[in-house]
Amino acid sequence: MSDLNFSGVDFTGLANLNLGDLRDSQGRYPMDPGYDPAPASPTAPAPPSPEPPAPSAPSAPVPFSPNPDARNTIKAVLASYGLDALSDILWSNYTSGLVDVTNPQALIYSIRNEPAYKERFKANDARMKAGLPELSPGEYIGLEDQYRQVVRSNGLPTGFYDTADDITKLISGDVSPSEFQSRITNGYNAVANADPEVRRQMQDLYGVSEGGLAAYFLDPTRGEPLLQQQAQAAKIAARGRELGGIQLTRGTAEDLAARGITEAQAQQGFSSIGQLGELSTQLSGETALSQEQIIGQQFGTDTQAALELEKRRRRRVGEFSGGGGFARTQGETSGATRLSVGKAE
């Protein structure tokens, strides 16, 4: 930076200069350290707090104005559930502002304690007592529709196990539509469409008449697997009666069914038993065989009985060949002789 040059500056009169005149309105000299020629600003007072608004007068409640179309909505909802008789009660709930008419579920549940509602969905009471969940109206009616569809799809006549009481039993027992279908296919139809002997066996073994077949096989209190086994037992017993001349006991028929013996196997097995002829009759010196043992040897459930029958066969064939007592006592007037299987040879 260059040196300051004061040449030409007139300093005359500085001696008589009154420095007091240099003070500003605040009494400050310009040469004072930190001098600021701007006047000091006084501290601004805080703005006053706004006055709180005066409380407004309470407004009058807006009166509830029911939608004139709501009555039709209520009637339509109730009609879909079969609860038309409750339309006045539900309308009163709505006009009192107790329920939202745009919510069908809320509409329905506002009347769920009405006797007519409880009667319409009475299976719910039985379900809750059994520890099962309560069904909503939509779920309940959906099940009803599915049960009726199962009845129709099986070609069963109108009125066949589709009354309100019938369906109430199914819903109370928590029978699914698929299980209902299985009960008809593997239970009721298997017996109802079978030959008369199978239906007679249902009467003999279980005391079920033809007229009671539907109620028996579709009753929710009976387990589906047991019903199917009983239907199969009746078929097996029918073949035993026809082909083997044997009336099976309930226990024997159910045992064969539980072992998986089919109707075709039963037909073959009892045909063979029917051909045993004299072998099924005990002679002197032979071990007695019960009907159950004879059946057991044929279906592979009694090996000891099978061995005894084989011994009988060999003994009697041997006596016949040697002209023993068996051959002499079995001769017939025609000259034919019964062998071990009971056929004339």
Radius of gyration of the chain (CA): 52
Q: 257 and 279 share a domain?
A: no
Same domain (yes/no): 242, 288: no
Say yes or no: 254 and 281 in one domain.
no
Whether residue 43 lies inside any domain: the answer is: no
223 and 291 in one domain? Answer: no
Residues 171-200: pLDDT tens digits? 999 999 999 999 999 899 889 999 999 999
- Is 23 part of a structural domain of the chain? no
Q: Would residue 35 count as lying in a domain?
A: no
Domain that holds residue 221: 175-261
pTM > 0.75: yes or no: no
Question: DSSP readout, 83-98?
Answer: -GGGHHHHHHHHHTT-
Is residue 128, in this structure, part of any structural domain at all? no
pLDDT of 3 reads 39
Measuring CA to CA, which residue among 240, 167, 173 is closest to residue 201?
240
* Cβ contacts of 302 within 8 Å, gap of 6 or more: 292, 293, 295, 296
Q: Which of 139, 143, 161 is nearest to 152 (CA)?
A: 161
| Orientation angle between helical segments 263-274 and 291-298, nearest 10 degrees | 120
Cβ atoms of 327 and 319 closer than 8 Å: yes
Does some domain include residue 234?
yes
Last residue of a domain, one of 261, 292, 317: 261
Cα dist. 294→223, 252, 263, 279, 306 in Å? 31, 12, 18, 10, 8
Under the banding of pLDDT at 50, 70 and 90, the label for residue 17 is very low
Assigned domain for 238 exists: yes
Whether 182 and 253 map to the same domain: the answer is yes
Total number of domains in the chain: 2
> Which among 30, 26, 23, 27 has a CA at the least distance from the CA of 40?
26
Distances (CA, A) of 144 to 81, 85, 137, 175, 277: 11, 21, 11, 11, 56
Instruction: Reply yes or no on whether the pLDDT at 144 is more than 90.
Output: yes
Residue 205 located in a structural domain: yes
221, 237, 261 — which closes off a domain?
Answer: 261
Last residue of a domain, one of 226, 261, 296: 261
Euclidean distance between CA atoms 159 and 150, whole angstroms = 13
Half-sphere exposure of 131 (CA within 13 A, CB side): 0
CB of 337 within 8 A of CB of 331? Answer: yes
How large is the average pLDDT for residues 119-141? 93
Kindly state the percentage of the chain with pLDDT values over 70: 69
Cβ pair 228, 186 in contact under 8 A: yes
187 and 252 belong to one structural domain: yes
pLDDT in tens, 228-285: 899 999 999 999 999 988 899 999 999 999 999 999 999 999 898 887 766 667 666 6
Q: Tell whether 255 and 303 lie within a shared domain.
A: no
> pLDDT-based confidence at 56, cuts 50/70/90?
low
Domain assignment of residue 70, yes or no: no
